[in-house]
A = this chain, B = another copy of it.
Amino acid sequence: MFRHQKQLQFEVKVERPDPMLARQIQEILGGQFGEMTVMMQYLFQGFNCRGEEKYKDMLMDIGTEEIGHVEMLCSLISQLMDGASPAAQAEAAKDPAMAAIMGGINPQHLIVSGLGALPTSSTGVPWSGAYIVASGNLLADMRSNLHAESQGRLQVARLYHMTTDEGVRATLRKMLARDRYHQYQWMAAIAELEEKNGVVVPASFPAEAELEAQPQAYAFWNLSEGVESASGPWAAGNAPDGSGEFVYIDEPLPEGQAPVAKVPAPELHHDLDSSKVLINK
């Protein structure tokens, strides 16, 4: 069960309204790597957790924090929209200079939400449950979390330069700091899990079982012209878990057959010959 406190986790104050920035900020609220994503991802991972209590508790701690980040960004967007009005839009249409601004506004901020935040990205695409994952495998999910925080902090960093409003920037700095910590957090959890089970997900499907396929597990297939890729750490040396040595296959050959599919039943109407299907009426 959850409870809500009136105060925001951090202060959110803007220097001046800026509807075009409001549209851009939507990306880190309702985009692929916005706060709605990490909130729902951590909550679902926590709700579904079948592992040790410390992981479940930790996921609930951070998932709960992220609900508050959604709240903060909604407040930020509302403040950036303050004072905007449909009538100003009509006025602006007469004046190119103002129309410029208007052209950059998300029309749904006026028409649909009445100056409120939307559950959508910066291009107006609705947030989707397909953005998140809760697989039940802790290491796989922690890696998902680390990637989400990495993409998320990157986007906040880019947005930071897109405004000179020091109020907005102060909020973004708080988020950059939290996203730094959250990267640390997932790295620490990942290190612990890799230590325990090994680095390959899932650890419980043994390499031995891939036996006949085993050489595949160390071979780089050079399928794009040029051998620049041969100079990376994935092309030579030991696998991260020391289980084997990488091989660079310079001129790889296919190992499978040229597939030939069977002709289907006539009721599927592929029309591969010109006879008619007998229709029993």
Contacts and interface: CB of A to CB of B under 8 A. Distances in A.
Given A86-B268, A113-B136, A58 B229 contact: yes
A176 B210 contact: yes
A268 B85 contact: yes
Contacts of A160: 86, 205, 279
A111 B47 CA distance: 18
Contacts of A36: 129
Given A11-B256, A48-B116, A209-B279, A96 B107 contact: no
Contacts of A170: 212
Nearest to A169: B281
Interface in A172-219: 173-174, 176-178, 180-181, 183-185, 187-189, 191-193, 196-214, 216-219
Contact of A3 (B64, B83, B178): B64
Given A68-B2, A129-B126, A158-B269, A185 B220 contact: yes
Given A1-B9, A130-B128, A254-B1, A98 B101 contact: no
B101 A96 contact: yes
Contact of A177 (B32, B48, B52, B214): B214
A27 B234 contact: no
Count copies of this chain in the complex: 6
9 contacts: A1-B4, A6-B226, A11-B256, A11-B257, A48-B117, A51-B270, A113-B134, A116-B135, A158-B268
B48 A261 contact: yes
Given A96-B97, A126-B125, A183 B200 contact: yes
B86 A162 contact: yes
Given A47-B75, A93-B164, A176-B209, 18 more contacts: A4-B225, A7-B256, A43-B70, A48-B117, A52-B272, A58-B228, A58-B234, A61-B221, A61-B223, A100-B100, A107-B122, A114-B264, A140-B147, A144-B150, A185-B234, A187-B240, A193-B271, A198-B274
B270 A136 contact: yes
A47 B71 contact: yes
A234 B78 CA distance: 27
Given A5-B3, A198-B274, A135 B162 contact: no
A104 B103 contact: yes
